[in-house]
Amino acid sequence: MRYDNININREKSLIRSDDLDKIAIDDIEHKSKVRIGFSEFSINLYNNTKNKILKELNASEEDWNNYKWQLKNRISSVDEISNYIDLTREEYENIKNVSEEYRFAITPYYFSLTDFDNPNCPIKLQSFPDIRELEDGGQLDPMNEEQSNPSGRITRRYPNKLIINVTNACPMYCRHCQRRRLIGKFDKNTSREDINESIEFIKNNKTLREVLITGGDALLLSNNHLERIFNELSQISHVEVIRIGTRVLATLPFRIDDELASLLGKYKVQLSTQFNHASEITLEAVQAIDLLVDHGVLVRNQMVLLHNVNDDMYCIQKTNEELQKYRVIPYYLFHPKDVKGIGHFQVDIDKGLEIMKHLEGRTSGMCKPTYVYNSPGGLGKVPLVPLQNIEPVENGYKFTTWENRIFTKNFDD
Ligand SMILES: *Cc1c(COP(=O)(O)O)cnc(C)c1O
Ligand code: SF4
């Protein structure tokens, strides 16, 4: 006997282990259908389109890896799209009509991840104008941000943290953007005066321990501009944490270079990003993640649940497992907001809860985001958890495990 513990039953344990294998094998089978950025298929798509673009624009590999070149050469008209793919007359007209109402811009990098043959390609759904954007329904300002702005360009809804909105610009205008009322209409950095006023407000409110610098995409500010803000915030003794909100890891990974990663590391900045699908986690994205993590920057992911993009339990599982593998910790899974123009991305809350239920036990705790719903009127985020997990019963609670096994605990146990 190798163990002193006489309670071990090897036979039963092996039967249990075999049962768990069956569940894992089933998951692996389903997850293998999710397209990942590192697959040969994805890399081929990318290289094909990338080479076409480089040829069309007479540009070099060095240009491609330069984020300024990427920004300058964004694909932002239907004619540019039709340089690279054959659009039907109807597709052409649709993109044209939508882009007159909501402009679009796609970095050549992100565009090259598109699988043009798949009508539900997650990259395409997030970046190409879609005729359904013109459908009625949804609100213009469901967040009521107008009532959460005590000073400068601040949004405050919580006791000890707030947001400073430093720009309206983004490398790409995500079709599902929940702030599209402000973003994708004009590009404007917040004025120095408004930033100064925001910082002054933070200075005068000792309750504020965390400041989120966001946009738009906060990493579209220059390094000098960012450093000035970090420097001023770091001199306020009650500000313990500076956090940046950015999507460049997915849309413009070349923005992260050694200089920026060092700057973020120097001020111990933490970062929230947004990957919504495993196909966005590419070699280029992982190089950017590595630079950040190696400089000590904490990186967490805020995914948005989006119909046809990722509203599938295996897709969410695979995407979060890829993130964990490359050292990005899943943070939130946002339920999509009811904003005008993005109704076609809506998902039922039941579906989101079913996905969360699936993740329990089926994957590492490090791969599990918190599913959240944003309250109307700017009242804050509400975490959503499967109802059956814990239910009050007479004199105690009933619990349901990840495999739907039930046990109860009485108050007097
Ligand atoms: C989401 C949000 C935050 C940050 O909340 P965390 O749960 O800490 O990520 C801060 N301020 C506002 C206004 C927010 O909407
Ligand atoms: S990066 Fe964020 S703010 Fe910018 S368009 Fe995409 S979702 Fe909206």
The residue range of the domain holding 206 is 36-382
Atom of ligand 2 nearest to the CA of 215: 3
Looking at the structure, tell me whether residues 187 and 240 fall in a common domain.
yes
CA nearest to 130, candidates 121, 143, 139, 138? 121
pLDDT string in tens for the chain (413-residue length): 555 666 789 999 999 999 999 999 999 999 999 999 999 999 999 999 999 999 999 999 999 999 999 999 999 999 999 999 999 999 999 999 999 999 999 999 999 999 999 999 999 999 999 999 999 888 876 556 667 899 999 999 999 999 999 999 999 999 999 877 667 677 899 999 999 999 999 999 999 999 999 989 999 999 999 999 999 999 999 999 999 999 999 999 999 999 999 999 999 999 999 999 999 999 999 999 999 999 999 999 999 999 999 999 999 999 999 999 999 999 999 999 888 999 999 999 999 999 999 999 999 999 999 999 998 888 899 999 988 899 999 999 999 999 999 999 998 87
Looking at the structure, tell me whether residues 51 and 16 fall in a common domain.
no
Looking at the structure, tell me whether residues 300 and 161 fall in a common domain.
yes
335: phi then psi, degrees, rounded to nearest 5: -70, 135
The H or E element spanning position 26 is helix 10-31
| Residues facing residue 299 across a β-bridge | 271
Does residue 214 form part of some domain? yes
| Residues facing residue 214 across a β-bridge | 165
Looking at the structure, tell me whether residues 91 and 13 fall in a common domain.
no
Residues in the chain: 413
Strands 329-334, 241-245: pairing is unpaired
Non-local (6+) Cβ contacts of 224 within 8 A are none
Looking at the structure, tell me whether residues 240 and 166 fall in a common domain.
yes
Does residue 55 form part of some domain? yes
Looking at the structure, tell me whether residues 10 and 53 fall in a common domain.
no
Does residue 404 form part of some domain? no
Does residue 405 form part of some domain? no
Ligand 1 pocket check for 212: Cβ under 6 Å? yes
Ligand 2 pocket check for 278: Cβ under 6 Å? no
Looking at the structure, tell me whether residues 195 and 236 fall in a common domain.
yes
Task: Name the token pair of 23.
Answer: 């569940």
Ligand 1 pocket check for 158: Cβ under 6 Å? yes
Does residue 409 form part of some domain? no
Helix (H, G, I), strand (E, B) or coil at 328: coil
Task: Name the token pair of 358.
Answer: 């699936």
DSSP string, 180-219: TTTTTT---BPPHHHHHHHHHHHHT-TT--EEEEESS-GG
Hey, which bits of 10-121 come out as E strands?
A: none
Q: What's the structural domain count of the chain?
A: 2
Does residue 185 form part of some domain? yes
Pocket test for ligand 2, best of 173, 247, 339 (most atoms within 8 A of CB): 247
Does residue 390 form part of some domain? no
Looking at the structure, tell me whether residues 116 and 200 fall in a common domain.
yes
Looking at the structure, tell me whether residues 110 and 161 fall in a common domain.
yes
Ligand in closest contact with the CA of 173: 2
Ligand in closest contact with the CA of 180: 2
Does residue 391 form part of some domain? no
Looking at the structure, tell me whether residues 82 and 156 fall in a common domain.
yes
Q: Whole-prediction pTM value?
A: 0.96
Ligand 2 pocket check for 179: Cβ under 6 Å? yes
CATH number at residue 222: 3.20.20.70
Looking at the structure, tell me whether residues 18 and 41 fall in a common domain.
no
Looking at the structure, tell me whether residues 8 and 56 fall in a common domain.
no
Ligand 2 pocket check for 174: Cβ under 6 Å? yes
CA distance 318 to 347: 19
